[in-house]
Amino acid sequence: MNRLILLLAFVASATGMYAQDAKAQGILDKLSSKIKNQKSFYIEFKASITNSSSGKNESFTGKGWVKGNKFFANYGENTIISNGTKTWNVVKEEGTAYETSVDDDDSESMNPKKLMTVWEKGFTNKYEKEEKLGDEMVHVIYLYPKDKKGADYNTIILYIGKDDNELKKTIMKSNDGTKKTISITKFTSNPTIEDSKFTFDSKKYGVSVVKD
């Protein structure tokens, strides 16, 4: 009898968890479809990075352009550019551009395309609640890495507009206590973007290139 009760309790719990995940997945699938149907998009965002243990407290604004598998983003004093094959992370303070192949690029938090689809790979999701963000209602969805040991973040929280189904804010929490908050302040669908936007020129930025 005790085993039967435990089994029924487990099934009930699993069913509840599935319902929450199904609701979250439905919202995320709609958002993924919306992003993938864009030939291009442009975003503006505000970001902050804090860590109470180290005393880190930074804030900056950024802009991002995406066209197909190419992207360009400015954030703070830095720039990240991808032509779809190579990615260059330009760190102005160091006078260096770090070149990597797209497959090795792990800069998901400042890559505007990955930021807008971060939930698609490597995470389980959970619908948390509805709440008010500014003047609008949003869905709050939690993401947890499937591979906890190899993950950069232990928790990612998404705030998605209930009416327009657009990503409004993302909070990324790291194991070392760092919290990165990115708020989308503007989203433009299908703007015209010249391919030259995604061309990297070390002379233009006055940096040396370090290849991974």
SS3 labels along 26-75? HHHHHHHHHHHCCCEEEEEEEEEEEECCCCEEEEEEEEEEEECCEEEEEE
pLDDT per residue over 84-121, tens digit each?
Answer: 899 999 998 899 999 998 876 555 556 788 888 888 88
Task: For residue 22, give the 3-state DSSP assignment.
Answer: helix
Q: So what's the pLDDT on residue 18?
A: 40
Residue given tokens 């804030």 in the structure block: 59
pLDDT higher than threshold 70 for residue 10: no
Does pLDDT of 131 surpass 90? yes
| Higher local confidence (pLDDT), 111 or 49 | 49
The average pLDDT across 183-199 equals: 94
Q: E strand or H helix at 15, and its extent?
A: helix 2-36
Q: Is the pLDDT of residue 69 over 70?
A: yes
CATH entry, 2-211, from 2.50.20.10, 3.40.250.10, 3.40.640.10, 3.40.50.300: 2.50.20.10
pLDDT at 112: 84
Indicate the SS3 state at residue 79.
strand
Cα 27 to Cα 122: distance, rounded to the nearest angstrom: 17
Mean pLDDT for 129-134 is: 95
Residues 91 and 97 sit within 8 Å (Cβ to Cβ): yes
Domain range list for the chain: 2-211
Tokens of 101: 């192949």
CA distance 105 to 158: 22
Span 28-39, pLDDT tens digits: 999 999 888 899
| Sheet (strand 136-145) strand order | 123-133, 136-145, 155-161, 167-173, 179-189, 40-51, 56-67, 70-75, 78-82, 86-91, 96-101, 208-211
Res 197: pLDDT:
95
